[in-house]
Structure 1
Amino acid sequence: MTARPTVRTYPFGVSLTAIAASVLLLAACTGKDQNAAGAPPGGMPALPVSVLEMQPTKVETSVEAVAQTEGAREVEVRARVGGILMKRLYEEGAAVKAGQPLFQIDREPLEVAVAQARAQLGETRARVEQTLREAARLKALLAQQAISQREYDTASSDNAVAQAAVQAAQATLRQAELNLSWSTVTAPVAGVTGRAVVSEGTLVAAGGTTLLTTVVQLNPMWVRFSIAQNELATAMPDGRFKPQAIRGVELILPDGSTYPVRGKLNFAASQVSPTLGTIQLRGEFPNPDGALLPGQFVRARLLTGERDGVFKVPQHAVMQTDKGPVVMLAGADNKVEPRPVKTGQWSGKDWVILGGLKAGDKVIVDNLIKARPGAPIAPHAAGEGPGAPAAKPAAAAPATPAKG
C-alpha cells in the first residue's frame, strides 16, 4: 500500500501550500500594478537627459596649425677685433639695452696701434709741409726761368704723393681708433642675453668668427607656422587666401589656454612650398611682460572671417562614428534620434555644426552612453530637471503639544 503524504496544518487550518500560492499571486499583482503605473508600454523606464535647443548663430571662421615662437630679433654677438677676453660685463640671462657693454677685450695692443697710427700721420704731414715749401720755391725759380718745367712737374708730383700719404695715414688712424672702440663689445639690440659662450682669458679671433653670446628681443614675439593651401582656401569666405583679409591671429598656449592679446599677421610667403603644399606664415604678438619665450611650441589660430547660420554643440555631445560625426536628438515622441551632422571648426569648447541641424532641434548633452537610438527619454533643458540643484525645503513649524 502506498503511503499517503502528510499535510502539515497550522493554526486556523491553513496549509503551507495555500500560503505559498497566496504570496506568489500577491507578488504578480503588485508587479503588474507597478509596471502599469511607472514604466512605458515597452517595459523600459524613460532615461532623464539634458538637452540644448539649437538656435542659429554667427561664428568667426579660422584655421589652426602647430606653431613655434621666436624673438622678433635674435642676434649673435661676435667680436670685431681679436685679443684676449678680459671681462664679462653683463649678467647672463638679464635684459640689456642697445649699446650696453657686454664684454671687454684687452685694450693695450689696440691702444699701441692707435699711438703708432698717430705718429705715422704726424710724420706724413711733416713731409707734406716740406714738399709744399719746396714746390713754392721751385715755382718762383720757374718764373725766373732758373729751372726747367720738367723739374717743377717732378716736384709737383712728389707733393701729390705726399698728400695721398696723409690721407692713407688718416685712414689708418681711423681704423685703429675703431678697433680700440670695438674692444668693448656692446649689445646690438635691446633684449634678453644668453649664456656666455666663451669665458675670460680666451683668445678671441678677429673678424667675428668667435661667437660670444646671443641677444633675443622678446617684445614683440613672432610665431612661425605653415598651413596647407587647401585648408586656407576652405576657411576663406571667397575661397582664396588674401593676407590683407585676415582679421588677426590667436595663440593657444601649451596648457590649452588662449593668449589674452590677439596678434596680427606680419608675413605671408608669396609662394607655396612645392614639397609640402603649405604656405609659410608669421604672426606678431605684444609680449611686454615676457610671458612668451622663444622656442615654445604653441598653436596659432588664423582668423579668416565670419560664417552665419551655424550651430554650436558641446564637443562631448558630438560622437565620431564610422559614417561620420553624429549627435543624438530628443525626438517629438521623446525617443532618442541619431542625426548625422557636418562639423566645422572648434569654437572654445563647442563644435561648429555646418549642416544636419535646424533651429529648434534638441541635442542631448548628457547620459549619451545610455541613450540608445529609439530609447524612451525624459528630456529637460540643460541646467534644469534632475541635474539642477534641488530647492531647499521649507522650515517645519514647531510641533504643538497635544492636549490631554
Structure 2
Amino acid sequence: MGMNVESGIQTDYAAYDYDDGQARRRRRIIIGGVIAAVVVAVVAGVMIFGGNKAAPPAPPAPGVTVIVPGLTDVAATISSTGTLFAKREMPVGIAGEGGMVQAVLVEPGTWVAAGQTLAVIERSVQAQQANSLSASVRVARADAELAQAELDRAKALVARGFISKADIDRRTATRDAAVARVAVAQAQLGEQRAQIGRLDIRSPAAGLVLTRAVEPGQVVNASNGALFRVAKGGEMEIRAQLVERDLARLKVGDTAQVTPIGTRKTFTGTIWQLSPVIDPQTRQGVARIQLAYDPALRPGGFATATISSGRVTAPRLPESAVLSDDKGSFVYSVGKDGKVVRHDVKVGDFSDAGIVILSGLRGDEKVVLSAGAFLNPGDKVTPQLAKPDALAH
C-alpha cells in the first residue's frame, strides 16, 4: 500500500517536470520566432524604404554672365601723378657785399624782364667811395698831363743842348708813371661802380616771380640765400612718377594731358626729359612734362597726368569685370571645365568705353562680366554669354 502511494507521487512529479520543460522550450521558441520576425521586418523595411532609394540630385552650378572681349586697337596711355614745379627755377640773391634793403620793387606773380631790378640796397657809403675814387682819377690825369707837358718842353730844348738825353729819359719815365696811375685810378673807380651795381638785385632772365623773401629795412648779405625765386619764361612742369616698365614705353616729345588737383581744367604738355636713373628703393623714375604758363599751374601743387604712348592692340573690359585686392587688379574667367580661373592683369586707360587690359589676358577668355566678388578660383559655374545690349556703358 505504501509502495503504491510513493510510486504515485513520483509519477506526478515526473509528469510535472516534463510539462514545465516543455513549456519553457515553447516559450523560447516563441521568443526566438518573434525576434527573428522583427529582424526580418527591419531588414525588409531597410531594403524597401532605404536600400533602393536613389541619392538626391546635386544642385545645378550657379550661372554667371561672361563676355569674350577680343582685341581692340586703342590709344595706349599711361596714368601717373606728380608735383608741379617751375621748369627752370632761378634763385636770386645777393651778389655783392650786401647791406640794408632800401626798396623792394616786385611782388610774387610779377612778370620781369632780363636784368630788371627786383630790390635796391642802400649805398650811400659806397657812393661816397666812388666819388673819392673819381677825384683820384682826375688828380692822376692832371699829373699825367703835367708830366707830358714837361716832357714836350724838354724835347724842344734837347736839340739846343740845354737838356741832356738822360733828362729826357727821366721825364719820359715820369710821364709813363703818371699815365699808369691814371689807369689804376680808373680801374679802382670801375670796381667801385661795379660793386654799387651789384647792390641792385636783378633778375638774371625774363620770367615770373614766384617767391619774395625780403622786406625794406632788412640787412642782407650772401649768407641769406635766395631772396627771390623766378620761373624762367614762366614755364612750368609736372614731374610724373612712373614705374620702370612704363618709363621704358615713353620717349621725349610724347604728349600728355595734365589736370591739377582741385580743378577740372586740363592742360596739354610734352615730355622734355626722361629720368636717366631708376630709384633702387621705389623702382620708379621721373618723366618731366613741360607746360606753358597758366595761373592754375601753381608750383608745389599736385596733378594727374595721362601720357599718350602710341597705340596698342589689347582687350578692353567693362569696369564691372575688373576687380582688385592687395595683390593688384584681376579678372575671373570660366575655363572649359566650368571652373572659375583668376587672371592677374595690368590695366591701362580708363574711359567710357571700358578699361584697357595691357597684360594678363589674350582676349579669347570667357571673362565674368559681374558678380566676380562673390566667386572664388575653382568654383563651378555655368557660363552664360552676355547679350550685346548688356555691354552698353
Q: Same fold (TM over 0.5)?
A: yes
The answer as to 2:312 corresponding to 1:307 is: yes
The answer as to 2:348 corresponding to 1:346 is: yes
Pick one of 303, 327, 346 that aligns with 2:331: 327
**What TM-score results when the alignment is normalised by the length of structure 1?**
0.65
Map 1:13-92; keep pairs closer than 5 Å. Answer: 42=59, 46=63, 49=65, 52-61=67-76, 67-79=82-94, 80-91=96-107
* 1:183-216: CA deviation from partner (whole Å, max 9, x where unpaired): 44333334443554333222233x5755433223
SS in 2 for 1:327: strand
Pick one of 112, 116, 130 that aligns with 2:146: 130
Instruction: Determine which structure has more spread, i.e. the larger CA radius of gyration.
Output: 2
Please state how far the C-alpha of 1:263 moved relative to its aligned partner.
1.5
* 1:149-186: CA deviation from partner (whole Å, max 9, x where unpaired): 33322222222222222222223333333444444433
Which residue of the partner structure matches residue 266 of structure 1? 273
Which residue of the partner structure matches residue 387 of structure 2? 381
Counterpart residue type for residue 111 of structure 1: A
- In structure 2, what is the Cα distance between the partners aligned to 1:208 and 1:137? 57
2:256–2:306 Cα contact (<8 Å) kept: yes
Which residue of the partner structure matches residue 110 of structure 1? 126
Which ranges in structure 1 are unaligned for 5 or more consecutive residues? 1-39, 237-242, 389-404
- In structure 2, what is the Cα distance between the partners aligned to 1:337 and 1:100? 74
1:124–1:169 Cα contact (<8 Å) kept: yes
Counterpart residue type for residue 149 of structure 1: K
- In structure 2, what is the Cα distance between the partners aligned to 1:379 and 1:278? 41
Which residue of the partner structure matches residue 254 of structure 2? 247
- In structure 1, what is the Cα distance between the partners aligned to 2:247 and 2:225? 43
* 1:331-382: CA deviation from partner (whole Å, max 9, x where unpaired): 89xx9753454634421252424353335x5533323234574334655436
SS in 1 for 2:230: strand
1:336–1:371 Cα contact (<8 Å) kept: no
1:67–1:223 Cα contact (<8 Å) kept: yes
1:69–1:221 Cα contact (<8 Å) kept: yes
- In structure 2, what is the Cα distance between the partners aligned to 1:104 and 1:341? 67
Count, aligned residues:
330
Using a 3 Å threshold, how does the CA distance of structure 1 residues 328 and 204 change in structure 2: closer, same or farther?
A: closer
Using a 3 Å threshold, how does the CA distance of structure 1 residues 133 and 352 change in structure 2: closer, same or farther?
A: same
Using a 3 Å threshold, how does the CA distance of structure 1 residues 290 and 116 change in structure 2: closer, same or farther?
A: same
Which ranges in structure 2 are unaligned for 5 or more consecutive residues? 1-56
- In structure 2, what is the Cα distance between the partners aligned to 1:253 and 1:90? 27
The answer as to 2:371 corresponding to 1:367 is: yes
Using a 3 Å threshold, how does the CA distance of structure 1 residues 94 and 252 change in structure 2: closer, same or farther?
A: closer
* 1:136-158: CA deviation from partner (whole Å, max 9, x where unpaired): 12222333343333332222222
* 1:219-238: CA deviation from partner (whole Å, max 9, x where unpaired): 321334565656645x47xx
Counterpart residue type for residue 270 of structure 2: G
Which residue of the partner structure matches residue 229 of structure 2? 214
- In structure 1, what is the Cα distance between the partners aligned to 2:274 and 2:247? 15
- In structure 1, what is the Cα distance between the partners aligned to 2:185 and 2:254? 59
Pick one of 281, 288, 293 that aligns with 1:288: 293
Percent identity over the alignment is 21
- In structure 2, what is the Cα distance between the partners aligned to 1:256 and 1:181? 44
- In structure 1, what is the Cα distance between the partners aligned to 2:325 and 2:199? 69
The answer as to 2:206 corresponding to 1:201 is: no
**What TM-score results when the alignment is normalised by the length of structure 2?**
0.66
Which residue of the partner structure matches residue 160 of structure 1? 176
2:111–2:209 Cα contact (<8 Å) kept: yes
Please state how far the C-alpha of 1:132 moved relative to its aligned partner.
0.9
Please state how far the C-alpha of 1:311 moved relative to its aligned partner.
0.9
- In structure 1, what is the Cα distance between the partners aligned to 2:386 and 2:163? 123
